[in-house]
Amino acid sequence: MTNTVWTPELLSPAGSLEKLKVAVLYGADAVYLGGQKFGLRQASDNFTAQELREGVEFAHSRGSMVYVVLNSFLHDKDLEELPEFLSLLSELKVDAVIVSDLGVITEIQKHSNLVVHLSTQASCLNVESAKLWKKMGVTRIVLGREVTIKEAKKIKEETGLEIEMFVHGSMCMAFSGNCVISNYTQGRDSNRGGCAHSCRFEYSIDYKNNEEAKKAYFMSSKDLEGIRMLTEFIEAGIDSLKVEGRNKSHYYAATVSKVYSEALAYYKAHGNFLSDDLIRWEEELRKISHRDYTTGSLDTHADESSIYNQRESDDNEYVVTGVILEVKDQEHILLEVRSAFTAGDTLEIMPFSGVTINHTIDSVKSIANINVPKSKPGSVVKVPYIAGAERFNIIRRKINNVSAAV
């Protein structure tokens, strides 16, 4: 088999400049990110102009694309500030903007030549809808998560548009852009980044038939996992596979980027997924914080098995120990600590590609070279040099008792 097999772009979330770097280094072909305004993730550390400049330079220099989300349903006064941001994006040569509102598309077309991708927020679900958006000037459609891969193939074939689909991450149970629970219950516009995740609450449901009310997490969706559907995505010619999660951790950005990029690289090289690594990739995806996984509507439209009928929990087999800030060859590694650990613990380094490196560390020191009995989250510590470690590698640790992790 030659190296000419086509595979889709892997598009990872970049909730901050550091996460952008992590995603790119771990294999993302493209990243999507938000500026300080106009996107749907008000709580993530969205990029300042300077960070955006640096992020675009970093990604482009490594051959990765950068898409900027402008996918809020903007009000008139929000639009007034848009042209200035658009000139910055044009100057930085971002590869596309992701938009859901026709007013925003109109303003972008008026003030720039930026390439426009239609956000999943616009809930484009069928061929005719895609044709309409094509008339409005979009070149790529991020389909609603309710669309199957087969339907997506038809949309692509009949419109000639680029098609992007979600392959991994959290999902709304509502049609995207069609949930305003937070607007009315919390006074926060969920379509301008204020979603309060009320769908994750437990509700008691009182049916009108006088029975006792039933308690259930009845409208919380399981998380999407499409690793077993990659062949179908490829055969359908889906152009881009998107991972949800700009608000999620560095560890998440690293893991999903690494797993899916390794899987796609394997397909590129072999033309199939008949790899023993498939089990390892799936195991890796289970080590990041997630709700139970589902294939959602990728194969057939999501049914009741896609509902995550339980309380949210952070319990995980692994905790992130930290992110490598600096590697001093043969001397030490400087680690930004995310969860406490002590000398004697076995740490797992996630290299940018390939299997993890396990290492039991025999000392933990502060920046002033003082031995630290237990590292504190938020601090920076030195641990002995480990061959193969690189800046921005994620380090994790297996835990027996989850609540022991700080």
Q: Tokens 């991708």 label which residue?
A: 117
Residue 133: CB partners within 8 Å, gap ≥ 6? 118, 122, 124, 141, 161
Q: Give the separation between CA 295 and CA 64, rounded to whole angstroms.
A: 27
Which amino acid appears at position 35 of this protein?
A: G
**Residue 133 and residue 105 in contact, taking contact as beta carbons nearer than 8 Å:** no
Binding status of residue 363 toward ligand SF4 by CB under 6 A: no
Binding status of residue 188 toward ligand SF4 by CB under 6 A: no
Nearest to 155 by CA among 133, 177, 171: 133
Nearest to 170 by CA among 279, 247, 283: 247
What, of another protein, ligand SF4, none, does residue 212 touch, CB below 5 to 8 Å by kind?
A: none
What, of ligand SF4, another protein, none, does residue 195 touch, CB below 5 to 8 Å by kind?
A: ligand SF4
Q: How far is the CB of 263 from another protein (least distance, A)?
A: 26
Nearest to 141 by CA among 230, 227, 242, 12: 242
Q: Which stretch binds ligand SF4 (CB under 6 A): 4-12, 20-28, 196-204, 243-251?
A: 196-204
**Residue 77 and residue 48 in contact, taking contact as beta carbons nearer than 8 Å:** no
**Residue 343 and residue 364 in contact, taking contact as beta carbons nearer than 8 Å:** yes
Angle formed at CA 30 by CA 25 and CA 33, multiple of 5 degrees: 95
Question: What separation in angstroms does the CA of 376 have from each of 322, 342, 344?
Answer: 11, 10, 16
What, of another protein, ligand SF4, none, does residue 42 touch, CB below 5 to 8 Å by kind?
A: another protein
What, of ligand SF4, another protein, none, does residue 257 touch, CB below 5 to 8 Å by kind?
A: none
Binding status of residue 199 toward ligand SF4 by CB under 6 A: yes
Q: Which stretch binds ligand SF4 (CB under 6 A): 191-199, 291-299, 320-328, 351-359?
A: 191-199
**Residue among 189 and 282 whose Cβ is closer to ligand SF4:** 189
Angle formed at CA 192 by CA 187 and CA 195, multiple of 5 degrees: 55
Among 79, 92, 181, 265, which residue sits at the site for ligand SF4 (rule: CB under 6 A)? Answer: 181
Q: Which stretch binds ligand SF4 (CB under 6 A): 150-158, 166-174, 245-253, 338-346?
A: 166-174
Among 172, 241, 364, 394, which residue sits at the site for ligand SF4 (rule: CB under 6 A)? Answer: 172
What, of ligand SF4, another protein, none, does residue 382 touch, CB below 5 to 8 Å by kind?
A: another protein
Binding status of residue 190 toward ligand SF4 by CB under 6 A: yes
φ, ψ of residue 284 in degrees (nearest 5): -60, -40
What, of ligand SF4, another protein, none, does residue 123 touch, CB below 5 to 8 Å by kind?
A: another protein
φ, ψ of residue 294 in degrees (nearest 5): -145, 160
Q: How far is the CB of 170 from ligand SF4 (least distance, A)?
A: 7
Q: How far is the CB of 398 from another protein (least distance, A)?
A: 25
What, of ligand SF4, another protein, none, does residue 369 touch, CB below 5 to 8 Å by kind?
A: another protein
**Residue among 100 and 255 whose Cβ is closer to another protein:** 100
**Residue among 59 and 302 whose Cβ is closer to ligand SF4:** 302
Q: How far is the CB of 379 from ligand SF4 (least distance, A)?
A: 33
The bridge status of strand 332-337 relative to strand 240-243 is: unpaired
